[in-house]
Structure 1
């Protein structure tokens, strides 16, 4: 229940609507409770005596009660819908905000598909539970106590049938819930797997078509689709027992009441009107209890969804600001002192081991190494996308953990290996670097990134729509736009993670020339091509997460075997000049 308590905190802005909805529902129940009493008088007094005034009076009062019950029911629906949909909206917003605070390490705990499911399907499960469950959840106990009270007044002896049926109903419901509860978690996990396959298939659709693997993908999708189908079938195989079980008990109660009530009428202990009213209360109470059993099953599923949502909301970011964080970064000097790092505390091997490196402010540093040598991992420690497991990383002479996270990341511009653009115009994407940038500043950044060469040919220039994920531009154009976006930040440290791999050598040379003009910015360039880093002030070679060598192009070419091997292999391929 603590999961539900945490989740329903987000419904507080709509608490007034909930209170009004519950009040209206209680009033509706009261009107419905009056109708059988009025009907009893009509049958016992008006019909036998053919007393039209009594019939019209009681019938009119019944119509008035029915209309008032209808009006309060409609008003209830309005306020309940506002509460339910407002709650779901707040919950989705809270989940999304929580994900925005996650660090890279937190994101490693959840798959993208699982987060999507938790923000959509699981939130919708809770929305439906509130939307369809609030009415029977409130109405059932109200109708139960009111109905039992009125039934007891009419016939205490017949009411005993209720008292016998209640534990039977409770036992049935408990058995069904015990079977269904574990299956709902399995069902939601199957939804995760389905969404993951859909996301991967749509993201890689061009690769699938290029390799003509559509049939294989269909087979993979069929497996996760069957998994969800089987999980749902297994779940509802037990859940479906709810209705026939309760109907069996309900009809058994009615038969017993008719049998004993008929005998009471024959012996003069009960009138026909009283038995009719009693049966009305029985049907109202049993229908309410049957609806409540359905809600109880829905709540069981909601608990599984609530648990999954709570995991997102309570996930604590691994990185936090210091008690009194520093907001000013003096310069772009970078120091690694005996730095080691592993992605998982339980990992046997470090991704980085004992890195000690000094990079002066304003220097240009190239970082090269084989695949898996932890080049990207090294630079991710600078803006605290991860924290070093051991040792210290300093920027501007201070430990990066002393800085305010937002201030540090504003001072470090990073062009990631995977170039990401968002839906919207080119201007919208570039303004991620500086929301207040003028057109002149945007064009200056685009010229430095050599993006102006193709922007001039775009139909609407900066206002050209990029489409979802930047599908309307090529890979090289994406890279140049991402570089321009980062340059607009005017950072003290600029990191390029293999960010010019998709552009030709002439364009790359122009970008390097533009970057050379930024004398007050420390530039770190991860590259596969020596030609991309040979003019750097320092070149760092990483090998299996360790610092292998540091020096200029000439020094390394003269003394380092790994650098010589890379250089010669690329020279044969015609890459370095």
Structure 2
């Protein structure tokens, strides 16, 4: 955080200088007012009154202008700081591996990037405006008050300890509650996000009331914690006002006694009373700072937790680059388990996928097919064994260089808000219209795009909500094809397509990717029946490798898969 603050040292210096100038002018006003009373009014010197009064007006206006400058530079600093932190958070999270990302979760990361940063921004703005002003005014007020009336300054000895103890007590109680409040915000955000993204499922299963209860519980929990915090905050100001008012009464009381004894002038009492109010107001500002800073500390801790989190997947210090990549993928004794899992998802998996050939992976649900595919672009790193391309361990290649060579289509088709062209250019930034249309033709997606007048500029809603499941899959496949990579990875990417479209798409794909390595994860045997080699996974282990004919003749696991699908088709 300090690295971000240092960028704004010029603006922060201006805030301190302007605040100092404004406070000096404000501290001068009670002295000028005392002179007006003790000299001008007592002696009946009208010119002196007008002259000193005019000087007071000028000082007041100058102080207002200086404080306006303070507000301007403080706001620019706080907003610029928040912008920089949000940018760093976003960049850091974007570079996280999937496993690191899942440690915090989407809902919490959204809260940390928005709510937590906003808390820090607000407190920084307050610190620059109030916490620089309050100490300067406190010290200046005490010095001038003691210099003017040392005897009357004893009154502060009673009020200052009370305020200090109050600030200490409330700060001690508030800090844990502020940290808890941010966690409640995470929970509330999580419930709302799940309810909104899963609205179709919720309505389909008639679970609206259940979701209302979940939201109500999270909302009430957040409210209760917020009320506890605000109750403490609500106690602070009235108690301080009581202390201030009793201090004022004491000053007037003892000041009147001193005036009656001829030890003090009326103007001095008025000036001292104003200095006392400045001192107490400074303490109030400091107390609010001490209350708000713990909340910012809780948010800063959560932000730093993300920024300082060690990524599970890092680029090598000296990455090895190869201009020409053949695309021979070799998995040797690969084992992998997810964080916190008791058993590994993959155990001792070994195979080789060659260019110009299609390798298919099939198996029951949960057998580790998708996980195996994600190890190739290093979305996860192996626990044991190696995944290599052309004999080079993928951990020795920079992630950018590795993924540049791969066209990956995930199991869940993900589209981004924008246009069709924007989504295709995720695969290749400088793709021409011709290249994009060719990719759409191969993916069997050009038909429904051409039906719309917008063509490549057809708008895609968030998550591709304005497309069907099959259309989203075809657009995701086109996004990978437009890159024309050396390696194609399809994670059950044909499941939403009818048999005719599936067959035509794969035929077109194999025509343009004759020299590429293609790995297909599939549930349907019809999708992979013509693959050069089929890998059968069973509970994370390879149960067999071969062609469709070889496996169907000899492999029991594969036979069960084929027969179960044939029985399902016959039943249908």
TM-score class, shorter:
over 0.9
Residue aligning to 1:29 = 23
1:263-301: CA deviation from partner (whole Å, max 9, x where unpaired):
111111111100100000011111121022112111111
- For the 8 Å contact 1:332–1:362, the answer to whether it is kept is no
Whole-Å separation in 1 of the counterparts to 2:24 and 2:127: 20
Whole-Å separation in 1 of the counterparts to 2:354 and 2:106: 38
Residue aligning to 1:524 = 519
Q: CA deviation at 1:239?
A: 2.2
- For the 8 Å contact 1:15–1:83, the answer to whether it is kept is no
1:308 to 293, 302, 306: 302
Q: Secondary structure at the match of 1:523?
A: strand
Q: Report whether the alignment pairs 1:374 with 2:380.
A: no
Q: CA deviation at 1:575?
A: 7.9
- For the 8 Å contact 2:117–2:299, the answer to whether it is kept is yes
Q: Report whether the alignment pairs 1:460 with 2:454.
A: yes
Whole-Å separation in 2 of the counterparts to 1:351 and 1:108: 17
Residue aligning to 1:89 = 83
Residue aligning to 1:146 = 140
Residue aligning to 1:207 = 201
- For the 8 Å contact 1:10–1:91, the answer to whether it is kept is yes
Q: Aligned runs of 1:456-495 on 2, under 5 Å?
A: 456-495=450-489
Q: Aligned runs of 1:7-406 on 2, under 5 Å?
A: 7-328=1-322, 330-344=325-339, 346-406=340-400
Whole-Å separation in 1 of the counterparts to 2:280 and 2:507: 81
Q: Which runs of 4+ in 1 moved over 4 A?
A: none
- For the 8 Å contact 2:12–2:128, the answer to whether it is kept is no
Whole-Å separation in 1 of the counterparts to 2:158 and 2:369: 73
Residue aligning to 2:549 = 554
- For the 8 Å contact 1:336–1:357, the answer to whether it is kept is yes
Whole-Å separation in 1 of the counterparts to 2:515 and 2:439: 16
1:399-425: CA deviation from partner (whole Å, max 9, x where unpaired):
111111100011121100111111100
Whole-Å separation in 1 of the counterparts to 2:252 and 2:560: 97
2:536 to 531, 535, 541: 541
Q: Secondary structure at the match of 1:469?
A: helix
Q: CA deviation at 1:512?
A: 1.1
Residue aligning to 1:4 = none
Q: CA deviation at 1:11?
A: 3.0
1:67-99: CA deviation from partner (whole Å, max 9, x where unpaired):
111111112111111111111111111111111
Q: Secondary structure at the match of 1:407?
A: helix
Moved more, 302-311 or 130-139: 130-139
Q: CA deviation at 1:167?
A: 2.6
Whole-Å separation in 1 of the counterparts to 2:361 and 2:326: 21
Whole-Å separation in 1 of the counterparts to 2:238 and 2:145: 25
Whole-Å separation in 1 of the counterparts to 2:126 and 2:496: 53
Count of aligned residue pairs for this structure pair: 569
- For the 8 Å contact 1:333–1:362, the answer to whether it is kept is no
- For the 8 Å contact 2:15–2:128, the answer to whether it is kept is no
Q: CA deviation at 1:246?
A: 1.6
Q: Secondary structure at the match of 1:173?
A: helix
1:320-377: CA deviation from partner (whole Å, max 9, x where unpaired):
1222212226211111111111112x53211111111122223201111111101111
1:443 to 437, 449, 452: 437
Moved more, 322-331 or 353-362: 322-331
- For the 8 Å contact 1:11–1:86, the answer to whether it is kept is no
Q: CA deviation at 1:150?
A: 0.4
Q: CA deviation at 1:562?
A: 1.3
Q: Secondary structure at the match of 1:120?
A: helix
- For the 8 Å contact 1:531–1:575, the answer to whether it is kept is no
TM-score, normalised to structure 1, is: 0.96
Whole-Å separation in 2 of the counterparts to 1:145 and 1:78: 25
Whole-Å separation in 1 of the counterparts to 2:448 and 2:6: 51
Q: Secondary structure at the match of 1:574?
A: helix
Q: Secondary structure at the match of 1:515?
A: helix
Q: CA deviation at 1:222?
A: 0.7
- For the 8 Å contact 1:14–1:82, the answer to whether it is kept is no
- For the 8 Å contact 1:11–1:90, the answer to whether it is kept is no
1:507 to 481, 501, 505: 501
- For the 8 Å contact 2:491–2:520, the answer to whether it is kept is yes
Whole-Å separation in 1 of the counterparts to 2:181 and 2:228: 9
- For the 8 Å contact 1:339–1:352, the answer to whether it is kept is yes
Whole-Å separation in 2 of the counterparts to 1:165 and 1:429: 66
Q: Secondary structure at the match of 2:334?
A: strand
Q: Secondary structure at the match of 1:240?
A: helix
Aligned Cα root-mean-square deviation (Å): 1.4
Q: CA deviation at 1:549?
A: 0.8
- For the 8 Å contact 2:435–2:482, the answer to whether it is kept is yes
Moved more, 365-374 or 238-247: 238-247
Whole-Å separation in 1 of the counterparts to 2:254 and 2:87: 57
Structure 1 unaligned blocks of 5 or more: 1-6
1:390-448: CA deviation from partner (whole Å, max 9, x where unpaired):
11111121111111110001112110011111110001110111111111111111111
